[in-house]
């Protein structure tokens, strides 16, 4: 609503400025001509006559702008708008053909400059007329006085006025469409921003339950295998919960905090698995100046432990994060022992992860999944600079 009022105010202000300029122009023209031409005498009656000719155009504009045009712009009534515009132009044309063009009287017109003879030494007498008098059509002989032109014929002046009226209505409609378009663009941008915020919150809250579900399953398995390790795992889980509760609701966190979170998670997983699972990491330290959305990489790490580890066969997980040339490179490679990874690749977790990346980074990211017979690899490349308005 605030945006609508703002653009309506701008639109009306533009119209006001244009009409003020239009009515001031004759005054300025006559004034400058009177200062530059000693034979020209400034008369306010000439200005009033020109401004009087503008009044029908002003009335036409006001009716179209405030009554007829909103039918098309706001209510999309095209047929009604077209019929009313044609009727309005017909009324304007009838007025111009009947009253718009008048013959010059034999005597001086009331309120207009009378012919003035200027005598200069050494020259012949000459009549100097104002521009309004010189351009005015001369009456037929034997018909003195001011008479309206018969409406059955259209002269050039009336045709030009009608054509100007059509252009004016078209310009008025174009300006209205322009400001309505700007208003709609601003409204759509606001709606998209709100929708983006809600989608990001939805996807973020989907990650949290997914993470806790897997972690609790791990603890449940450790309770039967090694109760002491299960207790230590609960301590590690409390650290992870603290991060999720106090950091994950922020728009952005430092990359270093995300790396620390992943390291805590890997430490928790190491308690559960034996030496048959080889876990290697290569992640930088001291990258607190780079910010990313929280919980961005944990889903891929979770999937690696969930689908890349076997209790019967040797398994491996290799996780690396690098920062090069203003780009963040994340890589997660794990062994593959069944077809579950294949199913997970098209599952809701990775699908939502991709949607989240698209919402935040647009097209400025690379997300590749290489599902080989024995390995499963995720490669993610992100910019170090992020538009915080999208987060």
What pLDDT digit, counting tens, does each position of 362-376 carry? Answer: 888 999 999 888 899
H-only helix segments in the chain: 2-36, 44-63, 69-73, 78-95, 131-135, 156-225, 227-246, 255-272, 298-307, 340-345, 348-361
- Domain 226-390 CATH assignment equals 3.30.565.10: yes
Report the alpha-carbon angle 372-373-377, nearest 5. Answer: 30
Cα(157)–Cα(101) distance, integer angstroms: 8
Q: Which residue has the tokens 């944990």?
A: 298
Q: In what order do the strands lie in the sheet with 327-335?
A: 277-282, 315-324, 327-335, 375-383, 366-371
Cα(204)–Cα(207) distance, integer angstroms: 5
**Secondary structure (3-state) at 280:** strand
Cα(2)–Cα(283) distance, integer angstroms: 49
Q: Where do the structural domains in the chain lie, given as residue ranges? A: 2-187, 226-390
Q: In the prediction, which pLDDT does 28 show?
A: 84
pLDDT-derived band at 348, boundaries 50, 70, 90? low
Cα(253)–Cα(246) distance, integer angstroms: 11
pTM of the prediction?
A: 0.49
Non-local (6+) Cβ contacts of 357 within 8 A are 365, 367, 380, 382
Residue 249 CA from chain centroid, whole number: 27
Which region among 48-57, 95-104, 136-145, 165-174 has the lowest average model confidence (pLDDT)? 136-145
What mean pLDDT comes out for the span 223-252? 79
Q: In the prediction, which pLDDT does 170 show?
A: 92
pLDDT-derived band at 127, boundaries 50, 70, 90? very low
Structure tokens, 295 = 């919980």
Phi and psi of 378, rounded to 5°? -120, 125
What mean pLDDT comes out for the span 27-38? 80
């Amino acid at each position: 609503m605030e945006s609508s009022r703002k653009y309506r105010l701008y639109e009306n202000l533009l119209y006001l400025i244009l009409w003020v300029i239009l009515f001031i122009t004759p005054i300025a023209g006559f004034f400058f001509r009177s200062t530059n031409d000693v034979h020209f005498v400034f008369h306010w009656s000439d200005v009033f006559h020109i401004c009087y000719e503008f009044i029908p155009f002003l009335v036409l504009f006001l009716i179209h702008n405030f009554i007829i045009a909103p039918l098309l712009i706001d209510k999309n009534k095209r047929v009604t708008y077209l019929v009313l515009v044609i009727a309005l132009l017909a009324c304007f044309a009838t007025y111009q053909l009947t009253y718009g063009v008048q013959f010059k009287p034999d005597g001086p017109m009331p309120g207009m400059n009378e012919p003035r003879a200027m005598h200069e030494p050494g020259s012949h007498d000459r009549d100097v007329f104002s521009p309004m008098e010189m351009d005015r059509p001369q009456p037929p002989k034997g018909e003195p006085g001011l008479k309206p032109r018969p409406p059955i014929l259209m002269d050039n002046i009336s045709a030009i006025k009608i054509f100007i009226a059509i252009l004016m209505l078209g310009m008025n409609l174009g300006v209205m469409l322009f400001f309505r378009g700007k208003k709609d663009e601003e409204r759509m941008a606001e709606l998209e921003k709100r929708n983006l915020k809600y989608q990001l919150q939805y996807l973020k809250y989907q990650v949290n339950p997914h993470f806790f579900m897997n972690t609790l399953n791990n603890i449940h398995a450790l309770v039967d295998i090694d109760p002491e390790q299960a207790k230590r795992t609960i301590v590690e889980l409390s650290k992870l919960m603290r991060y999720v509760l106090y950091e994950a609701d922020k728009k952005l966190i430092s990359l270093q905090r995300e790396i620390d979170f992943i390291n805590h998670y890997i430490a928790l997983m190491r308690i559960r698995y034996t030496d048959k699972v080889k876990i290697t990491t290569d992640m930088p330290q001291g990258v607190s100046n780079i910010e990313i959305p929280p919980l961005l990489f944990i889903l891929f790490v979770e999937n690696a432990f969930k689908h890349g580890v076997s209790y019967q066969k040797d398994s491996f997980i290799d996780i690396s994060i690098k920062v090069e040339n203003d780009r963040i490179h994340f890589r997660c490679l794990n062994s593959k022992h069944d077809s579950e990874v294949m199913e997970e690749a098209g599952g809701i977790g990775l699908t939502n992860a991709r949607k989240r990346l698209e919402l935040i980074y647009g097209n400025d990211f690379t997300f590749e999944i290489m599902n080989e017979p024995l390995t499963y690899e995720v490669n993610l490349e992100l910019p170090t600079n992020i538009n915080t308005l999208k987060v």
